[in-house]
Structure 1
Amino acid sequence: MAFRHAIRGTTHVFPDLRTLLARASPFRSGDALAGIAAASAEERVAAQRALADLPLRRILAEPVIPPEEDDVSRLILEDHDAAAFAPVAVLTVGGFRDWLLAAAPAELAAIRRGISPEMAAAVSKIMRNADLVSVAAKCRVETRLHNTLGTEGTLSVRLQPNHPTDDPRGIAAAILDGLLLGAGDACIGINPATDNVESVLRLLDLLEEVRTRFSIPTQGCVLSHVSTTLIAMERGAPVDLVFQSIGGTQRTNESFGISLALLEEAQEAALALGRGTVGSNVMYFETGQGSALSAEAHGGVDQQTVEARAYAVARRFDPLLVNSVVGFIGPEYLFDGKQILRAGLEDHFCGKLLGLPMGVDICHTNHAEADADDMDALLLCLGLAGVNYVMGVPGADDVMLAYQSTSFHDALTARRLLDRRPAPEFAAWLERAGIGEGARIPGALSPALLGLS
Structure 2
Amino acid sequence: MPFAHTVGGVGWRFEDLKDLLAKASPHRSGDDLAGIAARSAEERMAARCALADLPLAALLAEPVVPYEVDEVTRLVVDGHDRAAFAPIAHLTVGAFREWLLDDATGPDDLARAARGITPEMAAAVSKLMRNQDLVVAARKCRVVTRFRDTIGLPGRLSVRLQPNHPTDDPRGVAAAVLDGLLLGAGDAVIGVNPAGDALPDLLALWRLLDRLVQGLAIPTQTCVLAHVTAQLRAIEAGAPVDLVFQSIAGTEAANRSFGVDLALLREAHAAARSLRRGTVGDQVMYFETGQGSALSANAHHGVDQQTLEARAYGVARAFDPLLVNSVVGFIGPEYLADGRQIVRAGLEDHFCGKLLGLPLGVDVCYTNHADADGDDTDVLLTMLGVAGVAYVMGVPGADDVMLGYQSTSFHDALYLRSVLGLRRAPEFEAWLARMELVDDAGMPIPPAAGSRLLAAAREVAAS
> In structure 2, what is the equivalent of residue 296 of structure 1?
298
**Pairing partner for 1:209 from 211, 217, 242:** 211
> In structure 2, what is the equivalent of residue 253 of structure 1?
255
**Pairing partner for 1:263 from 265, 269, 275:** 265
Report the count of equivalent residues. Answer: 452
**Pairing partner for 2:389 from 387, 390, 395:** 387
**Pairing partner for 2:454 from 440, 445, 453:** 445
Q: If the length of structure 2 is used for normalisation, what is the TM-score?
A: 0.97
Q: Distance in 1 between matches of 2:198 and 2:93?
A: 47
> Do the aligned partners of 1:247 and 1:309 also contact (CA within 8 Å) in 2?
yes
Shift of 1:375: 0.1
Provide the secondary structure at the position in 2 that maps to 1:5: strand
Q: If the length of structure 1 is used for normalisation, what is the TM-score?
A: 0.99
Counterpart amino acid of residue 443 in structure 1 = R
Counterpart amino acid of residue 366 in structure 1 = N
Q: Note the alpha carbon deviations across 1:69-96, whole angstroms, 9 max, x for none.
A: 0000000001100000011100000000
> Do the aligned partners of 2:28 and 2:341 also contact (CA within 8 Å) in 1?
yes
> In structure 2, what is the equivalent of residue 18 of structure 1?
18
Shift of 1:411: 0.3
Counterpart amino acid of residue 25 in structure 2 = S
Name stretches of at least 5 consecutive residues in structure 2 with no aligned partner.
439-443
> Do the aligned partners of 2:216 and 2:460 also contact (CA within 8 Å) in 1?
no
Shift of 1:424: 0.3
> In structure 2, what is the equivalent of residue 376 of structure 1?
378
> Do the aligned partners of 1:169 and 1:451 also contact (CA within 8 Å) in 2?
no
Question: Is 194-203 or 67-76 further displaced after alignment?
Answer: 194-203
Counterpart amino acid of residue 141 in structure 2 = C
> In structure 1, what is the equivalent of residue 441 of structure 2?
none
> Do the aligned partners of 1:172 and 1:450 also contact (CA within 8 Å) in 2?
no
Q: Distance in 1 between matches of 2:198 and 2:36?
A: 39
> In structure 2, what is the equivalent of residue 79 of structure 1?
79
Q: Distance in 1 between matches of 2:250 and 2:360?
A: 16
Counterpart amino acid of residue 355 in structure 2 = L
Q: Note the alpha carbon deviations across 1:169-219, whole angstroms, 9 max, x for none.
A: 001110010000000000000000012211110000000000001100000
Identity %: 67
Q: Distance in 2 between matches of 1:117 and 1:369?
A: 29
Q: Note the alpha carbon deviations across 1:309-329, whole angstroms, 9 max, x for none.
A: 000100000000001000000
Q: Distance in 1 between matches of 2:237 and 2:460?
A: 25
Q: Note the alpha carbon deviations across 1:360-393, whole angstroms, 9 max, x for none.
A: 0000000000000000000000000000000000
Q: Distance in 2 between matches of 1:201 and 1:144?
A: 25
Counterpart amino acid of residue 373 in structure 1 = D
Structure 1 segment 271-350 matched on structure 2, within 5 A: 271-350=273-352
Structure 1 segment 81-160 matched on structure 2, within 5 A: 81-102=81-102, 103-160=105-162
Q: Note the alpha carbon deviations across 1:228-254, whole angstroms, 9 max, x for none.
A: 000000011000000000000000000
Counterpart amino acid of residue 361 in structure 1 = D
Q: Distance in 1 between matches of 2:64 and 2:137?
A: 25
Counterpart amino acid of residue 433 in structure 1 = M
Counterpart amino acid of residue 56 in structure 1 = L
Shift of 1:442: 2.1
Provide the secondary structure at the position in 1 that maps to 2:369: coil
Q: Distance in 1 between matches of 2:130 and 2:453?
A: 49
Q: Distance in 2 between matches of 1:441 and 1:125?
A: 46
- 1:444/1:6 CA distance change after superposition, 3 Å: closer
> Do the aligned partners of 2:436 and 2:445 also contact (CA within 8 Å) in 1?
no
Shift of 1:445: 2.7
Name stretches of at least 5 consecutive residues in structure 1 with no aligned partner.
none
> In structure 2, what is the equivalent of residue 189 of structure 1?
191
